[in-house]
Amino acid sequence: MPAERVLDEMRALGLEATELGPPGFLPAGGDALRARLEASGLRLVAGFLALDPRRPSGRALPGVLERTVLSLAAAGAEVLVLAAAGGGEGYDRRQRLEPPDWPGLSRWLKAARELAEAHGLGLAVHPHIGTLVEDGDDVGRLLELTDVDLCLDTGHLAVAGVEPLEVAHAAAGRIRHVHLKDVDGELAQEVRSGRISYAAAVARGLYRPLGQGSVDVAELVRHLEAGAFQGWYVLEQDVMLSAEPGPGEGPVRAARDSLRWLQRLLDRPPAAP
């Protein structure tokens, strides 16, 4: 779908902010990015990047990380959301760090956080399907060996077989950013068992509007609100489209349902019709 349509639909729903989206979705330069979003009446809050921390290079941090940080900062974002990619294409294959590799990941994340903070950004590490930090054991080790903050993604955690609320308790005080998704529990189980790939599950509707799946998103949000969570709740509706949907169809319908559900939960004014 063209970026212009997506941004217009977001504003029509009453949304006021967005993340960066996939590479190439929005302009790369900070000034151009800010101008594009301002033209749509939106502000930028964060950007997601998946990089392999084990990939050798002649620099302490890859150039794409530095460029992304500069662009996000120039556009007024608040958070760099970083996933530890495993080096493969896509997210279909389970990745694992060997025990000797964890200290290296810790050092890499510390350097990335220092870079982000030098430009006024926070860093939130995203446990993500098909990356080096995916399941409950990975998250536990990350919390034990580092002091980085997390991007808590209810969907990716649930697909990995992790209860998001348990992560919220374990990472108390370290939840910087939240991605809200709901999940078709049966499809998630098929992904975990290896019967279907992650990409195939997404194509079959793995991610559901909030309140229509197996994740207790309501209890998680209540927990975060009770703890005076100060970050952003980002509604994500990951889909795989074979063609551009007609007007009013496609991801916007699920996004509208999710937004209304969340506003009812938080007792806030309803979304636009």
Instruction: Give the pLDDT score at 248.
Output: 86
User: Three-state SS across 7-59?
Assistant: HHHHHHCCCCEEECCCCCCCCCCHHHHHHHHHHCCCEEEEEEEEECCCCCCCC
Q: How far apart are CA 45 and CA 23, in angstroms?
A: 16
Its pTM stands at 0.93
Q: How far apart are CA 188 and CA 23, in angstroms?
A: 26
Domain limits, the chain = 3-266
- Give 175's Cβ-side CA count (13 Å radius): 27
Instruction: Give the pLDDT score at 92.
Output: 87
In sequence order, the β-bridge partners of residue 208 are: 182
Topology annotation, domain 3-266 = TIM Barrel (3.20.20)
Contacts for 245 with CB less than 8 Å, ≥ 6 apart: 1, 251
Longest Cα–Cα distance of the chain, Å, equals 53
Instruction: Give the pLDDT score at 29.
Output: 82
Tokens coding 226: 């009770």
SS3 160: coil
Chain centre to alpha carbon of residue 136: 17
Instruction: Give the pLDDT score at 270.
Output: 60
Chain centre to alpha carbon of residue 88: 19
Instruction: Give the pLDDT score at 271.
Output: 55
Q: Specify the DSSP element, H or E, that contains 183.
A: strand 182-183
pLDDT by residue for the chain (273 residues), tens only, comes to 899 999 999 999 999 999 999 888 998 888 889 899 999 999 999 999 999 998 665 456 888 999 999 999 999 999 999 999 987 778 888 888 989 999 999 999 999 999 999 999 999 999 999 999 999 999 999 999 999 999 999 999 999 999 999 999 999 999 999 999 999 999 999 999 999 999 999 999 999 999 999 999 999 999 999 999 999 999 998 888 888 999 888 899 999 999 999 999 998 766 555
Report how far apart the first and last C-alpha atoms of the chain are (Å, whole number). 21
Instruction: Give the pLDDT score at 87.
Output: 74
For tokens 């990745």, the residue is: 95
Q: Where are the alpha helices (DSSP H) in 150-235?
A: 154-159, 164-170, 185-193, 198-203, 217-226
Sheet bearing 79-84, strands edge to edge? 17-19, 43-51, 79-84, 122-125, 149-153, 175-180, 233-235
Q: Specify the DSSP element, H or E, that contains 177.
A: strand 175-180
